[in-house]
Structure 1
Amino acid sequence: MRRILIPTDFSDNAMNAVRYALELLKYEKCDFYIMHAYQDAVHKETTSLTRENIDQVTKLMADKSAAELKRILKEINDISPNPRHNYHTISANNILIDEADKIVDEKDIDLIVMGTRGKSNDKKITFGSQTLQVLKYVQCPVLAIPEKQTYTQPKHILFPTNYLIPYKRRELKLFCDIVTPYRSIIDVVYISKSKKLSIRQEDNQLFMRGALCNNEINFITIDSKDVVSSIEQYVKDHPIDMLVMVNTRESFLESFLYPSRVDQLSLKLNVPFLAMQNIKRDA
């Protein structure tokens, strides 16, 4: 049974991520946990919030959260009455990142699915602040869905890598379980000015060749120093349905998530984005 966490702020972008997840995982047996953390909403009531009425405001937000989750649950059951899927809702007086981290541990979550941006929907940035926090700090793979992304089967997947990190079998298995039903073509792309691999890189590439699904896999080298521009151009030039990267030290993704000015990410995503965390969990 696959366990999926979907945080929501009740925005259209968040609901779009729910729809995408239901369709993508329609062949899998899944427990979906739809979660709303409302502590930030309580403290945003700055004009009316006082020490005397904080309990009252908190209860108001809790009731609103529960009602919205009930509405979403009804909508999910209307659009996806899938006997393979079970749905649960979680309303928490907590901040998103802490509650997500807690649920990941308690429920042994396999995947978090969320929109790239939430209610703020600032089109000048790739990731909203909440999504970025989850990508950076919650130790679980994250599938981020762009605004208004309509579901298409992931037939062609781009998997950039520098071969510097050993991949986790658990996360590669998750990835393979998702894409195998669609017979996806996977382009594993190495971007570098040097075509020669180190011994470490050769070993990691060999591991990928043996562990990365039974799908059609193309191992490609691109001669370039500009990783971000090369990925963007590859997505433009090919019918890519999903981008997959790994977030850890020395990875391509780390350079996108931890630049000096994180709000100026140059990678503009227009395809679903799976960030695998290379985390230390049981394989």
Structure 2
Amino acid sequence: MRKILIPTDFSENANNAIKFATELFKYEVCEFYIMHAYQDDIYADETLFTKTNLESIKSMMSKKSEEELETTLKYIDSISPNPRHTYHTISADNLLIDETDTIVDNQNIDIIIMGTRGKTNDKKITFGSHTLQVIKYVQCPVLAIPENYEYTQPKHILFPTNYLIPYKRRELKLLCEMASPYRAVIDVLYMSKSAKLSMRQIDNQNFIKNELCKNQINFIVIKSKHIVNVIYKYIKENNVDMLVMVNTRHSFLENMLYQSTIDEFSLNLDIPFLALQNMRRD
């Protein structure tokens, strides 16, 4: 059974991510955990509370959160009444990152799906701060859905890699099982000045090939060091509809997340983005 966590702030973007998730996994038996963490909302405006009324504000926020989660369940039932899917709601007086981390561990979550921007994020940035924090700090694959993105079956997936990472079987299996119902083509893209691979890289390439065996895989080499530019160009020229990258030390994605290129990367990425975490989980 697939276990999926969807954080929500009840925005249109969050609802769009929910809609995408129910469509993407419509053929699988899934448990969805719809979570709202509202601690940031409590302290967002310090003029609204004092020590004496803090508890009443928390109670009000909790009630509002529960009501909106019930409304969200009704919305899901209206758009995707799927007998394969069951839903749990979680209303938490906690920070988003902390609550997400707790649920991932306690429920052994397979994937987090969330919109790239919520109610309060800067309109100039595609990846909202919450999405970036989850990708950076929570040890679980994250599928980020761009604002206003209309669901499209993932038929063509781009997976840039340097073949230096010993990928986790569980994460590649997730990608394989996401893609195979749609007969997706996965382009594994290696960017380097040299096309020659070391023995370690060949081993990792073979591991990818074996784990993604249900899908058509194309192994592609582009002789370039300009990673971001190559990815953009490839997406646009080849009608790619999902980008997959791994967030771990010395990876392409780590360089993008922790350096200034993330701003450029975020502003222009308008397709779903799956960040694998190379995690150590059963």
CA contact (8 A) 1:114 1:143 kept: yes
CA contact (8 A) 1:125 1:263 kept: no
**Cα separation, 2, equivalents of 1:276 and 1:109:** 13
Q: How does 1:179-198 map to 2 (within 5 A)?
A: 179-198=179-198
Aligned to 2:164: 164
TM-score of the superposed pair, with normalisation by structure 1: 0.97
CA deviation string 1:10-35 (max 9, x = no partner): 11111000000000000000000000
Q: How does 1:91-110 map to 2 (within 5 A)?
A: 91-110=91-110
**1:123 deviation in Å?**
3.4
**1:96 deviation in Å?**
0.2
Question: Alignment partner of 1:266: what SS?
Answer: helix
- Report the AA paired with residue 264 of structure 1: D
- Report the AA paired with residue 180 of structure 2: T
Question: Alignment partner of 2:46: what SS?
Answer: coil
Aligned to 1:210: 210
**Cα separation, 1, equivalents of 2:71 and 2:146:** 23
Q: Which runs of 5+ in 1 are unaligned?
A: none
- Report the AA paired with residue 56 of structure 1: S
Cα distance, 1:75–1:235 mapped onto 2, change above 3 Å: same
TM-score of the superposed pair, with normalisation by structure 2: 0.97
CA deviation string 1:165-213 (max 9, x = no partner): 0111111111111111101011000011121212221211121122223
CA contact (8 A) 2:65 2:91 kept: yes
- Report the AA paired with residue 222 of structure 2: I
What percentage of aligned pairs have identical amino acids? 64
**1:122 deviation in Å?**
2.4
Question: Alignment partner of 1:47: what SS?
Answer: helix
- Report the AA paired with residue 263 of structure 2: Q
**Cα separation, 2, equivalents of 1:30 and 1:14:** 19
CA deviation string 1:126-163 (max 9, x = no partner): 31110011000001000000010101110111011010
CA deviation string 1:206-247 (max 9, x = no partner): 211222232111000011111011001111101111111111
Equivalent residues, number: 281
**Cα separation, 1, equivalents of 2:213 and 2:149:** 26
**Cα separation, 2, equivalents of 1:175 and 1:149:** 20
**1:75 deviation in Å?**
0.7
**Cα separation, 2, equivalents of 1:256 and 1:8:** 25
- Report the AA paired with residue 35 of structure 2: M
Q: How does 1:136-147 map to 2 (within 5 A)?
A: 136-147=136-147
CA contact (8 A) 1:160 1:188 kept: yes
**Cα separation, 2, equivalents of 1:116 and 1:231:** 19
CA contact (8 A) 1:256 1:265 kept: no
Aligned to 2:72: 72
CA contact (8 A) 1:247 1:253 kept: yes
Aligned to 2:113: 113
Aligned to 1:233: 233
CA contact (8 A) 2:246 2:276 kept: yes
CA contact (8 A) 2:176 2:211 kept: no
**1:120 deviation in Å?**
2.4
**Cα separation, 1, equivalents of 2:185 and 2:73:** 34
- Report the AA paired with residue 217 of structure 2: I
CA deviation string 1:29-71 (max 9, x = no partner): 0000000000000001311111111101111111111111010
Q: How does 1:1-283 map to 2 (within 5 A)?
A: 1-259=1-259, 261=260, 264-267=263-266, 268-282=268-282
- Report the AA paired with residue 164 of structure 2: L
Question: Alignment partner of 2:195: what SS?
Answer: coil
**1:121 deviation in Å?**
4.2
Return 214-223 or 265-274, whichever deviates more: 265-274
Pairwise CA RMSD of aligned residues? Answer: 1.2
